[in-house]
Amino acid sequence: MTLIGQVQLGKQGITENFILTLSNHFKKNNIVKVSVLKGAGHERDKIKGYAEKILEGLGSKFSTKIIGFTIIVKKWRRDQR
């Protein structure tokens, strides 16, 4: 059974603390859903930018998928790039 964590992205955007919180979620979960709130911006380009910043902060063992206003981050055993 796969455990799925949930995190909300607010108006401050991607910060070092947010990346640290996200990496802590991956100690127990393989997948984390990041819900982008209205304060962070609901433009498609901004959400794509957030997904890229998350990948830069976490490393090459992660991948992202965007569905609506949610970024799904998955941890793999090997590098994905």
14-52 per-position pLDDT tens digit: 999 999 999 999 999 999 999 999 989 889 999 999 999
Q: Is residue 28 part of a domain?
A: yes
Q: Which two tokens stand for residue 50?
A: 């957030």
Q: Is residue 19 part of a domain?
A: yes
pTM: 0.90
Q: Is residue 43 part of a domain?
A: yes
Distance from C-alpha of 53 to C-alpha of 15, rounded to nearest angstrom: 9
Residue 14 φ then ψ, to 5°:
-85, 115
- CATH code: domain of residue 19: 3.30.110.60
Q: Angle at which helices 16-25 and 44-58 pack, to 10 degrees?
A: 70
* Residue 80 pLDDT greater than 80, yes or no: no
Q: Is residue 81 part of a domain?
A: no
Q: Is residue 80 part of a domain?
A: no
Number of compact structural domains in the chain: 1
DSSP 41-76: ---HHHHHHHHHHHHHHH-TTEEEEEETTEEEEEE-
Domain interval for residue 43: 4-75
Q: Is residue 33 part of a domain?
A: yes
pLDDT at residue 70, as a whole number: 96
- Percentage, residues of the chain above pLDDT 90: 77
